[in-house]
């Protein structure tokens, strides 16, 4: 089995980290969607409370209770959304750091390969023969 280089290992970690970032973004999008739904429900309850239709007047206490519950849920979702936003930022920062490390490792590997190639050329050009028998008189 071939030993993987540091940059290859970091590249794999970057891919995993980017996937975690996508999951965090999905969670944020889901929370934002839920907040939007709660906002629409609150708007419809406010519309019903302000309606002049006598049917809605009979249920005004129920509408008020529903509006309070939706307000509480909106506050909870707002908190969750802030947590998800921070998580997205953290995951993105981790991925960026790993990606920078991967680039640095690739550059170091490239420099090392270039140095080895230069040393090989120098050895071939100026190296001593393996045996004195190989020297021509």
For 64, the token pair is 């008020």
Find the mean pLDDT for residues 27-40.
Answer: 97
For 132, the token pair is 């004195």
Angle, alpha carbons 101-118-8 (nearest 5°): 25
pLDDT at 125: 82
Nearest to 14 by CA among 92, 98, 89: 98
pLDDT at 19: 97
Tally the residues of the chain: 137
With bands split at pLDDT 50, 70 and 90, how would you rate the model's confidence at 50? confident
In a domain, 123, yes or no: no
With bands split at pLDDT 50, 70 and 90, how would you rate the model's confidence at 1? low
Q: Reply yes or no on whether the pLDDT at 87 is more than 90.
A: yes
In a domain, 132, yes or no: no
In a domain, 10, yes or no: yes
- Give the model confidence (pLDDT) of 91-122 as tens digits: 999 999 999 999 999 999 999 999 999 988 88
pLDDT at 128: 61
In a domain, 100, yes or no: yes
In a domain, 128, yes or no: no
Domains in the chain: how many in total? 1
pTM of the full predicted structure? 0.75
Percent of the chain exceeding pLDDT 70 equals 91
Nearest to 46 by CA among 70, 77, 73: 70
In a domain, 120, yes or no: no
Q: Reply yes or no on whether the pLDDT at 27 is more than 90.
A: yes
In a domain, 115, yes or no: no
Report helix angle 60-126 to 6-50, nearest 10.
Answer: 170
Q: Reply yes or no on whether the pLDDT at 62 is more than 70.
A: yes
For 49, the token pair is 């409370």
With bands split at pLDDT 50, 70 and 90, how would you rate the model's confidence at 134? low
In a domain, 41, yes or no: yes
> Which residues form the domain of 72?
6-106
With bands split at pLDDT 50, 70 and 90, how would you rate the model's confidence at 74? very high
């Amino acid at each position: 089995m071939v030993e993987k280089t540091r940059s290859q290992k970091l590249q794999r970690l970057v891919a995993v980290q980017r996937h975690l970032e996508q999951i965090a973004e999905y969670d944020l999008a889901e929370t934002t969607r839920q907040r939007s739904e709660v906002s629409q429900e609150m708007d419809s309850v406010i519309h019903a409370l302000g309606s002049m239709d006598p049917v809605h007047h009979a249920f005004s206490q129920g509408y008020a209770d529903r509006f309070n519950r939706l307000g509480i849920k909106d506050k909870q979702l707002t908190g969750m959304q802030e947590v998800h936003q921070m998580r997205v930022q953290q995951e993105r920062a981790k991925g960026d750091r790993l990606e920078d490390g991967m680039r640095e490792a690739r550059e170091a590997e490239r420099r090392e390969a270039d140095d080895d190639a230069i040393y090989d050329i120098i050895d071939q050009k100026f190296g001593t023969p393996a045996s004195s028998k190989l020297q021509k008189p």
